[in-house]
């Protein structure tokens, strides 16, 4: 803050150094933001370590365990990628909405509804269990995307037409989505009274690497599924849309300067609804990929596992860039995969929170030049 350069009148004796900061006049070098983000993560891991130690854990062992349990061999790398896939799609969903400064916190609910939509194709059943994979999987994808888009459309319309705060409406819709799915798996599609649907027929499963183990023995036991490719494809398409299309330009302009966008004749109402739907559709595709690629049945606990919330952090860490999101989601997939085994069990969630806090704080270093200077001799 600039006023800190004005010497205080009251105190005579002062600490001989102080922090002086001033706004940056020119953009920092290209490597600088990456270094700052990295520094923020290191700081976050350090702070997290202190809290883990306080709660009775061993921070260094916890972190080494995370590294080993997520990248130690090809099998766990594959598991890491499986965990990263839903995060990749939800964070793409968040990034497109955040780009327009639409705070869609509802990727979680849209993800759950996507899983519900895809499952409805199998369980209603809209398609017979022996339908070919080539028809089954595209149908499930469409249903998942549509269900997610509807769950994004609701807050979009509420925001555009009634000026309802989208943060709160999307969050409320998360809770509603969970109750909705619970109703279906308890009351309609229950398997023997348990809170889950019956397992899908094999034709409704996304192909996994291990399906090809007969031809390529190295794939044995690897559960990485087609969802990864869907996610990467979605990331590249989203990059094209955001940075290379007219619509993407409109989205970015509304996000950066809504008033200028309005004067330029951009329809903000329409874009609000469309972007929320696109965001919901991406999250819905994530839900489809999870239910058809990993869980293979509709069940609340493994699907509503917080991927939508992790997506927010990943999107922010990647500075909303779709291609960077691919890399960051793999890191967070690792954190979540390995985190399941460390005690106390809240550690991954806490570390995610600390990382996000440190990242936001570190943005200050991008906007301001911060120096530690010697205070003036007088006074």
Partner 1 sequence: MDFIVILQAGVASGTVLLFATLGEIFAERSGVLNLGVEGMLLIGAMSAYSVTIATGNLWLGVLTAILLAGLLSQVHAFITITLQADQVVSGLALTFLGVGISLVLGEGLSKAGTVSLMPSFSIPLLSQIPLLGPIFFKEQSVLVYVGYLLTPLAWFYINRTRPGMHLRAVGEYPAAADALGINVYRLRYLYVFMGGMLAGLGGATISLAISPGWFSEMTTGGQGWIAVGLVIFAQWNPLRAAVGSYAFGALRRLILDIQGPTMLLGLRNPFYYNPYWGFFLQMIPYAFTIIVLIIGSREAMRKRLGAPAALGTPYIRGERGL
Which chain residues interact with partner 1 by CB under 8 A? 1-3, 51-52, 54-55, 103, 105, 158, 162-165, 167-169, 171-173, 175-176, 179-180, 182-183, 186-187, 309, 312-313, 316, 343-347, 349-354, 356-357, 359-361, 363-364, 367
Residue 161 vs 220, nearer CB to partner 1: 161
Residue 124 vs 165, nearer CB to partner 1: 165
Residue 105 vs 324, nearer CB to partner 1: 105
How far, in Å, are 44, 86, 178, 343 from residue 227 at the CA level? Answer: 30, 8, 22, 30
The distance of closest approach from Cβ of residue 54 to partner 1 in the complex, given in angstroms and rounded to an integer, is: 8
Residue 261 vs 342, nearer CB to partner 1: 342
The distance of closest approach from Cβ of residue 62 to partner 1 in the complex, given in angstroms and rounded to an integer, is: 11
The distance of closest approach from Cβ of residue 129 to partner 1 in the complex, given in angstroms and rounded to an integer, is: 25
The distance of closest approach from Cβ of residue 273 to partner 1 in the complex, given in angstroms and rounded to an integer, is: 16
Residue 136 vs 309, nearer CB to partner 1: 309
257 token code pair: 């300067």
The distance of closest approach from Cβ of residue 364 to partner 1 in the complex, given in angstroms and rounded to an integer, is: 4
The distance of closest approach from Cβ of residue 183 to partner 1 in the complex, given in angstroms and rounded to an integer, is: 4
Residue 50 vs 264, nearer CB to partner 1: 50
């Amino acid at each position: 803050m600039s006023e800190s350069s004005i010497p205080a009148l009251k105190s005579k004796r002062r600490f001989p150094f102080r922090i002086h900061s001033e706004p940056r006049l020119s953009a920092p070098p290209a490597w600088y933001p990456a270094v700052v983000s990295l520094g923020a993560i290191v700081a976050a891991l350090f702070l997290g370590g202190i809290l883990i130690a306080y709660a009775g854990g061993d921070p260094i062992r916890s972190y080494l365990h995370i590294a080993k349990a997520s990248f130690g061999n090809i099998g766990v790398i594959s598991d890491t990628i499986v965990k990263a896939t839903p995060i990749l799609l939800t964070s793409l969903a968040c990034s497109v909405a955040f780009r327009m400064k639409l705070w869609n916190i509802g990727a979680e609910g849209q993800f759950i509804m996507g899983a519900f939509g895809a499952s409805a194709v199998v369980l209603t059943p809209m398609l017979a269990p022996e339908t070919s994979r080539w028809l089954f999987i595209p149908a499930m994808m469409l249903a998942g995307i549509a269900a997610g888009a509807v769950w994004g459309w609701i807050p979009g319309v509420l925001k555009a037409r009634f000026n309802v705060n989208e943060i709160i409406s999307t969050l409320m819709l998360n809770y509603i989505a969970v109750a909705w799915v619970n109703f279906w798996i308890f009351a309609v599609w229950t398997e023997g009274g348990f809170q889950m649907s019956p397992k899908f027929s094999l034709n409704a499963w996304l192909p996994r690497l291990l399906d090809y183990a007969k031809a390529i023995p190295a794939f044995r036991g690897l559960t990485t599924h087609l969802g990864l490719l869907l996610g990467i494809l979605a990331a590249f398409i989203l990059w094209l849309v955001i940075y290379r299309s007219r619509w993407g330009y409109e989205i970015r302009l509304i996000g950066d300067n809504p008033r200028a966008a309005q004067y330029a004749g951009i329809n903000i109402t329409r874009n609000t609804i469309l972007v929320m739907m696109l965001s919901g559709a991406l999250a819905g595709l994530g839900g489809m990929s999870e239910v058809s690629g990993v869980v293979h049945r509709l069940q609340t606990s493994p699907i509503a596992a917080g991927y939508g919330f992790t997506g927010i952090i990943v999107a922010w860490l990647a500075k909303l860039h779709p291609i960077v999101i691919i890399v960051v989601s793999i890191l967070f997939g690792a954190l979540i995969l390995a985190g399941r085994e460390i005690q106390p069990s809240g550690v991954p969630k806490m570390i995610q929170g600390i990382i996000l806090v440190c990242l936001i704080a570190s943005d200050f270093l991008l906007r301001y030049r911060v120096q530690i200077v010697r205070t003036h001799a007088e006074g």
